[in-house]
Amino acid sequence: MKKNTSAPAPLKLYCSIFGHRYEVSKKVTFHVKEYTCKCCKKQLTTNSNGNLTELTPKFQEINSILEEMYMRRSVRSQEKSLSSSIC
Ligand SMILES: [Zn+2]
């Protein structure tokens, strides 16, 4: 039987004592980001209320949709500014 642990116990202990050390791992949109703890690799994301919440598979799905929409919108706005500068 293999035990499935996401992080070594000492690091988890460190986080529980000193708190997680989150850094931005992915910028989804202008105000939605994903954060990963440098110690235990726990992931957080910004939810629709602007608060931080655990990055569950459901939120990963939402973020990937948001990211796609955001990318498309930014590409479109770039094209627009490009064509207007040509004219
Ligand atoms: Zn942590």
Mind listing the pLDDT tens digit for each residue in 34-74?
A: 999 999 999 999 998 999 999 999 999 999 999 999 999 88
Ligand 1 center to 32 CA (angstroms): 20
Domain contains 2: no
Instruction: Domain count for the chain, please give it.
Output: 1
Residues 6 or more apart whose CB falls under 8 angstroms from that of 24 comprise 33, 34, 35
Domain contains 24: yes
Q: How confident is the model at residue 4 (pLDDT cuts 50, 70, 90)?
A: low
Domain contains 79: yes
pLDDT attached to residue 79: 76
Domain containing residue 44: 9-86
Domain contains 63: yes
Ligand 1 center to 82 CA (angstroms): 44
Ligand 1 center to 37 CA (angstroms): 5
Ligand 1 center to 54 CA (angstroms): 12
For the chain, percent of residues with pLDDT exceeding 90: 63
Ligand 1 center to 39 CA (angstroms): 5
Domain contains 70: yes
Q: What is the pTM of this model?
A: 0.72
